[in-house]
Structure 1
Amino acid sequence: AKATLHGDGWLVRKLKAVDARLLHWSFDHPRPVIGLALMLVLLAGVSVPWLGRTFLPAFNEGTVTVSLILPPGTALSESNRLGTLAENQIKSVPEALSTGRRTGRAELDEHAEGVHFSEIDVDLAPSERGREVILGELRRALAVIPGAAINVGQPISHRLDHLLSGVRAEIAIKIFGDDLETLRAKAEEVRQRITTVPGLADLQIEKQVLIPQVRIHIDRGEALKYGLSLNQLSETLQAALQGKVVSQILDGQRTHDVVVRLAEEWRAESGDFGDILIDTPKGKIPLKLVAQVEETTGPNLINRDNMRRRIVVLANTQGRDVGAVVAEVQQRLAAMPLPAGYHLSYEGQFRSQQEATRLISLLAMISLAGVFLVLYSHFRSVVLSLVIMANIPMALVGSVAALWLSGQPLSVASLVGFITLTGISARNGILKISHYLHLVGQEGEPFGREMIVRGSLERLTPVLMTALVAALALVPLMLDADAAGKEILHPVAVVIFGGLISSTLLDTLVTPVVILLAGGKAMEQSLRTHGTTET
């Protein structure tokens, strides 16, 4: 009958009885309660820098992209042979269902590559083995390919890495300078210094190497004797060696360019270049009469960022977070001497993670200020607003603990979860304090222990219900963390779930104690200036 009158079932009555005993004990021991809360918040804050760091959680795309990079100048036949060998090695991994390979990319492609570069897409079967285990086995299987640099990743991840740093790897160490030979030497020194860093995989230097080239030095004096200008000679040589579009052929709705250039056997033998006939006002003459042709070596490519020459040492991570790997890499390279005018730049996911952390930290400060202004506009009390906002660091305790227990690194996704908690965790304090004000202002309850106990018990059910509903809604996102599509939402759910638990439990004791110690005058001021409107 009593349960019916009060509308409480046996479970709620039990919870309220326990809560009442805890509240009375907390009122008698305020220092241990507040001290414990402060200690937990401090421990959580101190442990945050020790969490792993990455830009975004690792994706589970169900497909792997393997980049096979051979020395520039490798013939198409050899590249095809080694590409076939790579596909056979990949198929030795149980999860590899099928492969598809692209060797080289067209010259007009956005990311043009020579035939020394192959991309192999691997379709993976569902497996109980983790993604890192499968990628590790793929790397070991491909290690037998001679002279090849291997980069193992996933399609979306590769594209994301390329957007972030211009290379298809998680970590990009860019060396800037003027002399290409010095850049290559320093890149090799970087590679040797960091090759034993734990967690580093697919370590390689951007394929900037010396390849055979033909250099043509035009003798301006001799050219003028035959009535030739440098522009005429350049156009003739370009047409002979690279080709020139002279017409088009219509084929239905399609058009085909007609390109004139030297036959393949002439272009393949640099020793014959001097015999190329050049049209002059005095008739045809061999090129060697007006130019010196020599065989030499030169770089296969020259890359620049912001008008500065650079070379890249690139790598992925395996079994360790990006932040920890880059921190150790920076430590090993800190003492490496660089010539004047040369410098290193750490880019890729590490740099993006740092930039995102700074931006999200700024947004967090703005959101905290916004929450405070909204609370103050309602309660008209700095003290009451700060008491409510004390739930935010108490939520941090559970969030950090949840990240540690789940093994999740600190990423953009988890940082978004922390910002989301600023509003969710303040809700419990709002429910309680607005009810305290209602009891004092509308029901005439005198401020003191009994009023706070009554208000806390009457708000226990809605506080637990809202926390429980939110927590249950997050459970599907927390299960099967490696499932495709959950990579971003799982860390958010882990952070919010942990924060809900700690803020709800700590708020049960801390908020009533703080209100009893410092909320009397603040509540009186709030009632006098604003009245009471229960939330």
Structure 2
Amino acid sequence: MFDKLIKIALQKRLVVLVTAILLLIFGTYITLDLPVDVFPDLTAPTVTVLTEAHGMASEEVEMLVTFPIETAVNGATDVRRVRSSSAAGISIVWVEFDWGTDIYTARQIVNEKLQTASTALPEDVDKPVLAPISSIMGEIMLISLSIDESKNTENLTEMDLRTIADFDIRRRLLSINGVSQIIPLGGAVKQYQVLVSPEKLTSYNLTLNEVLHAAEELNENSSGGAYMDSGSEYLIRGIGRVQNLEDITNSVVAIKDGVPILLKDVAQVKIGPATKIGDGSANAKPAVILTVQKQPQTNTIELTEKIETALSDIQASLPPGIVINSNIFKQSDFIQTAISNVIDALRDGAILVTIVIFLFLWNIRTTFISVLAIPISIIITIFVFQLFDIMINTMTLGGIAIAIGALVDDAIIDVENVFRRLKLNRQLPKDERENSITVIYEASREIRAPMVNATLIIVVVFLPLFFLSGVEGRLLRPMGYAYITSIFASLLVALTVTPVLSYYLLSKSKSMNEEKESWIVRKLKHQYEKTLHFTLKHPKTIAVSSIAALVITIFIIPFLGRSFLPEFNEGSLTLSIVTLPGTSLD
């Protein structure tokens, strides 16, 4: 099969050459369009259940809210682990499913189980809700909103800042495809506050529950059906929704002796900030911090660009004095730095490979043919990524970087043998010389078996990566895909493109008349000859030294440090301060 492939490539050499050129052109275009991230997507199918329990202590939340929900979802189809966190007033339950489970199927399963769990929860506990689907990569961006007092002509406050963040900026950013959640922190949350006077309640002979009941029902519309008159239909509506503070103050609490008692008669109604349970600041000044989370399988860099474009449009419509800063933290900066470092390593590796090949072959044409296998093999790998929807990340680029030296092995073996056979053919008398295509075909066929076997042996080394499960498999498998794909691509190039280029560049080259090898090869052969003689004279010494080195290495391995991943420096410093419960933020 491989011999036939070589023969077809030489017969259709112009087609092969044009195909290789088109591959380079279109492959470069596709490479620039592929999604980029720092790691493969490691997000396990996880459903997060949030339940608010206002006024409950963490122990009560755990016993009355978290435990019933955990009991309901435990044992559900494909659930592999359930975790929870209970704090004052809130319960969070994470339901993790087996890898490969469709996230929407998982959410449906959890939602069905919550129908059962809801009946076991206390009456004053809010209904459990499912959090948005978010990537495990955490926050991709932090955005700050602050007030520049020198331009604050409208006397905006922290409460105005938080209101703009909640109702303008957050909603606008959530409409961007790929954003899963925007979590605001800091500022002052706007509240309509009803401050009841106990003395006035006593004087009107009212209770606090009556005021609470009136406040709960004052912001509602009601329907009175329809009224038919002379063939016309009129809808009857009771308009009760409040539009301003005055509507609240004029709400009726009760009627005593035919006289309505209004809310303003027993309480002071005002707009004020809610009690803070957290705060935010930027550059030591009060600010609202927006935390942006993305959906799984979303290109972080592209999503960051969309968010920054939207923020530019929002900034133009904001009141003077409000400053948006999107440069506090951006995961895309770290991704671009990481990818850039790997690309630099690829570039440097390719340059070193080129230099080494040239020093050994000492021929520009053979070096060019051999090195060309690198970009073509990488481009073919990129096409495979595009076909199977694989992202460009540090692991896939790392696999290509590891393979960078091996990518030229097959091409070097082929071109070196072709070069040697063409040189021998040139040295024959003219009437005994064979056709260049025949020489190239026979030379390529000669080394086809060892070339294919060597490629298969290299591939076998990486096969264990595909048997890893869990996070390890999700992380390392793309590196194996990239390495094996690029190695097979280099084999394909060596069987097709390399013979064709050898025909066009080497068959009529003047270098065929030179009989000497490069000076560095002659020097190395001379030194190797000395080393070989010494080795053959002292076989026992060499064998004992090798075994001793192996034993020492095995002994050292248990003392080496171990880590699943190296530490990553994202250019930010996080300080965590723990204080006694109840400590004031001020």
> Aligning the two structures, in what range does the TM-score lie when normalised by the shorter sequence?
0.5 to 0.7
The structure 1 residue matched to 2:144, chosen from 146, 163, 175, is: 175
The one-letter code matched in structure 1 to 2:141 is: A
Relative to the length of structure 1, the TM-score reads: 0.63
| Aligned residue in 1 for 2:340 | 358
Is residue 2:294 matched to residue 1:316? yes
What is the alpha-carbon distance in structure 1 between the residues aligned to residue 68 and residue 515 of structure 2? Answer: 77
Residue of structure 2 in register with 1:492 after alignment: 479
> Measured at CA, do residues 175 and 149 of structure 1 come closer, stay the same or move farther in structure 2, by a change above 3 Å?
farther
- What SS does structure 2 have at the residue aligned with 1:177? strand
- Written as runs of structure 1 = structure 2, the 5 A alignment for 1:94-243 is 94-96=77-79, 99-104=82-87, 115-116=88-89, 118-122=91-95, 124=97, 126=98, 129-130=101-102, 133-134=105-106, 150=131, 157=136, 161=137, 169-178=138-147, 180-181=158-159, 183-188=161-166, 189-206=168-185, 209-210=188-189
Corresponding residue for 1:46?
29
- TM-score in terms of structure 2 length: 0.58
Change over 3 Å in CA distance of 1:524–1:65 after alignment to 2 = farther
Q: Distance in 2 between matches of 1:299 and 1:119?
A: 21
Q: What displacement does 1:477 show?
A: 3.8
Q: Does 1:456 align with 2:428?
A: no
Residue 383, structure 1, aligned to residue 355, structure 2: no
Q: More displaced, 482-491 or 333-342?
A: 333-342
Match of 2:278 among 290, 301, 323: 301
Q: In structure 2, what is the Cα distance between the partners aligned to 1:351 and 1:86? A: 39
State the AA in 2 paired with 1:129: T
The correspondence for 2:457, drawn from 469, 477, 481, is: 469
AA matched with 1:462: P
Does residue 431 in structure 1 map to residue 413 in structure 2? yes
SS of residue matched to 1:58: coil
Query: What SS does structure 2 have at the residue aligned with 1:470?
Result: helix
Amino acid at match of 2:454: T
Matched, 1:393 2:372: no
Shift of the 174–433 alpha-carbon distance from structure 1 to 2, 3 Å rule, reads: same
**1:391 Cα offset (Å):** 0.5
Number of equivalenced pairs: 411
The alpha-carbon distance between structure 1 residues 387 and 74, as it changes in their structure 2 partners (threshold 3 A), is: farther
Counterpart Cα distance in 2 of 1:136 and 1:407: 26
Extract unaligned runs of 5+ from structure 2.
Answer: 119-125, 149-157, 192-271, 526-586
Q: Secondary structure at the match of 2:27?
A: helix
The percentage of aligned residue pairs carrying the same residue is: 13
Alignment-derived partner of residue 234 in structure 1:
none
Shift of the 209–473 alpha-carbon distance from structure 1 to 2, 3 Å rule, reads farther
- CA deviation string 1:474-521 (max 9, x = no partner): 4554578x7542112211122223223333223322222222322324
Alignment correspondent of 1:21: 7
Cα shift readout 1:403-436 (whole Å, capped 9, x = no counterpart): 1232222222111122223222111111122223
Q: Secondary structure at the match of 2:473?
A: coil
1:58-69 residue pairs with structure 2 within 5 A?
58-59=41-42, 64=46, 66=48, 68=50
Which runs of 5 or more structure 1 residues have no equivalent in the other structure?
A: 1-13, 105-114, 162-168, 213-294
CA 61–318 in structure 1, closer or farther in 2 if over 3 Å, else same: closer
Residues 325-384 of structure 1 deviation map (CA, whole Å, 9 limit, x = unaligned): 445444443422165643223846544322211222222222222212222222223333
The 1-side partners of 2:92 and 2:515 are apart by 67
1:501 to 484, 488, 493: 488
Measured in 2, the distance between the counterparts of 1:170 and 1:142 equals 28
Distance 2:72 2:175 in 1: 25
Change in Cα spacing, 1:139 to 1:47, as seen in structure 2 (3 Å) is farther
1:314 alignment partner, SS class: strand
Aligned equivalent of 1:36: 19
Aligned AA for 2:11?
A: W
Superposition RMSD in Å? 4.2
Query: How far apart are 1:170 and its partner, in Å?
Result: 4.2
- Give the drift of 1:82: 4.8
The letter for the 1-side match of 2:85 is: R
Amino acid corresponding to residue 21 of structure 1 in structure 2: K
User: Does structure 1 conserve the Cα–Cα contact (< 8 Å) formed by 2:163 and 2:189?
Assistant: no
- Tell me: CA distance 1:33–1:198, structure 2 relative to 1, closer, same or farther (3 Å): same
Of 338-347 and 396-405, deviating more is 338-347
Partner of 2:555: none
Report the counterpart of residue 392 of structure 2 in structure 1: 410
Separation in structure 2 between the aligned mates of residue 172 and residue 424 of structure 1, nearest angstrom: 39
Judge which range, 199-208 or 407-416, deviates more: 199-208
- Structure of larger gyration radius: 2
Q: Separation in 2 of the partners of 1:136 and 1:38?
A: 50
**Equivalents in 2 of 1:39, 1:502: separation in Å?**
16
